[in-house]
Chain A
């Protein structure tokens, strides 16, 4: 099997849904999400049909055991053999929205889907760790979540794998002139635990792989059995720097399952918080870029702007990192509109002064140009999202999807910022453009009216998909709830999960050691979001 090349012209969403339904059966359609049941024998042609469409991206893949181990029974394995495999496809062309295929896998194998859609590889590894089912053909699967020192003792969501996942530790002498340079997981101050396996011939990056499992906290496992109100505080801590986006996606999944929507003013409040989250993250990424390029005064200037933006968050929502704003059904706090209108222009002006000066600094710009290059083809093949994808020219943005997890972006559309060169400089330009756009959106949403309001989310045995655009790209959340409204399975897919897949490709593109911190800063991802 080889990766599918997208056809020249794509099918419309309806055509794709009909094509998939022809292989199985249409199960449900609501709020921009179509669910199609595909029998196991048709999973491979169905994946070909979706992956072969330009404008269709594999956004996530996850499994659900039909009877999973309860949180109380830590260490126990699931009783049932059936596992449901779900693929979430984002349709971004004519009519943005999501298509979910669900397939019951009876035995331990399913078709090697990452051979068709390479974006599926990380999820294939994760599903093997958590549910013990794997792609047919025996391809090597990496360790993603479960630390080797805890081995099989760590609780999983379903059946344990028959064999532990492969330890992808390369030999320290790789061959020829190349050798492995181990770096991490403890790195410089303030950076998350992450292990780089750098394969190098001395200066050039020949290959790079990552271990991200040091921060695994079993969030999806811990969410089971909780009500959505209990669960949301854990969900938003999956990736603290995307607390609003993750919380919004999670709340929207519960709302979709219950068939309710937040009040319009609450949805606008969410959007204000989401854009403030984007602003401070882009300021932090700017500071990190300065640090990576050794520009300490520039770093200080960006960090002053960052600190002012965090204080704006505190003055507006009562939390510097905007935790606790999102609730299922609405929001718990209204923004202090007066403080926001008063403080935001000054804080953003501070950032603008720093970035204007940075753009006039040749030694800074030179380090960013032609560094960590990704093409649109790579971004599309790997399902990349957020500024990383937009910097290659792809207009991928979850805020464009219908309902947009609430609707404020239908009311006030977002101008999507893209660039073409796919390098660090393009990502920086996209972030700067988005920061300006976020300030505009915040003011427009405030003008539309905001409030601390919640609609009741009645308990109902159902499932739902939610999404939001975090500063590092699309966040997806899928929940299955029982009749008491308690979580039986929650899937959280922060943007970091997608974009770490592109990081090693970007580092290999004719870069040297000292480019890697610059590339990492421009991706502005978290290990926590990946290892959750």
Chain B
């Protein structure tokens, strides 16, 4: 057991303030999408809804409704409509208000 005591002392504290520094690979990690309202047509919205493997995307009242809480950042919407979607690069999604994770993006030419 002294081995582990000394080992622990030698290694010191490894937990740090979060984040101590950005992870070098973080930019390559999948993140939820951001939608460009100026490029979002109804056709593209429907295409993205059809490829989303979960319930993260839907359409109502002339808006694309995006639920970041149901998104697994699989990237299929970005592949289906690369002009209308970019990755957010955002990991920090925790919130105490579930509704804050649901976004409404206006669809071009739709009445609201």
Contact = CB atoms under 8 A, between A and B. Distances in A.
Interface of A: 230, 233-234, 237, 295, 297-298, 300-301, 304, 311, 314-315, 318-320, 323-324, 339, 357, 360-361, 363
A361 B29 CA distance: 38
Contacts of B23: 311, 314
Contacts of B8: 297, 300
A291 to B, nearest CB: 14
B7 A301 contact: yes
B7 A357 contact: yes
Nearest to B30: A319
A245 B53 CA distance: 20
B18 interface: no
B30 A318 contact: yes
A298 B25 CA distance: 27
Q: Size range of the interface on B?
A: 20 to 34
A324 B75 contact: yes
Contacts of A300: 8, 11, 14
Given A233-B53, A297-B7, A319-B30, A363 B25 contact: no
Contacts of B76: 233
A318 to B, nearest CB: 5
B74 interface: yes
B51 interface: yes
Given A318-B29, A323-B72, 4 more contacts: A297-B5, A301-B7, A311-B25, A314-B23
A145 B76 CA distance: 30
Contacts of A363: 1
Given A230-B53, A324-B74, A318 B28 contact: yes
A318 B87 CA distance: 13
Given A314-B25, A314-B29, A318-B28, A298 B53 contact: no
A315 B28 contact: yes
Interface string B68-112: 000010111000000000000000000000000000000000000
B4 A360 contact: no
A234 to B, nearest CB: 6
Nearest to A314: B25
Given A311-B23, A318-B28, A320-B29, A298 B14 contact: no
B3 interface: yes
A320 B53 CA distance: 20
Contacts of B60: none
Main secondary structure of the interface of A (DSSP, over half): helix
Interface string B44-74: 0000000101000000000000000000101
A339 B28 CA distance: 13
B20 interface: no
20 contacts: A233-B53, A233-B72, A233-B74, A297-B4, A297-B5, A297-B7, A297-B8, A311-B25, A314-B23, A314-B28, A314-B29, A319-B29, A319-B30, A324-B30, A339-B25, A357-B3, A357-B7, A361-B1, A361-B4, A363-B1
A319 B23 CA distance: 13
Contacts of A324: 30, 74-75
A354 B34 CA distance: 42
Interface in B16-38: 23-26, 28-30
A237 B26 CA distance: 22
Contacts of A230: 51, 53
Contacts of A318: 25, 28-30
B9 to A, nearest CB: 9
Nearest to A353: B7
A357 B3 CA distance: 8
A300 B8 CA distance: 9
Contacts of B72: 233, 237, 323
B53 A315 contact: no
Contacts of A295: 4
A338 to B, nearest CB: 13
Contacts of A233: 53, 72, 74, 76
B18 to A, nearest CB: 13
A318 B29 CA distance: 5
Nearest to A318: B28
B29 A298 contact: no
Given A230-B51, A297-B5, A304 B14 contact: yes
Contacts of A315: 24-25, 28
Nearest to B76: A233
Contacts of B4: 295, 297-298, 357, 361
A186 to B, nearest CB: 21
In the complex, which of the residues A297, A304, A357 has the most CB atoms of chain B within 10 Å of its own CB atom? A297
A324 B5 CA distance: 41
Nearest to A312: B25
Contacts of B30: 318-319, 323-324
A361 B51 CA distance: 52
A237 B72 CA distance: 10
Contacts of B51: 230
A281 to B, nearest CB: 20
Given A304-B14, A311-B23, A234 B5 contact: no
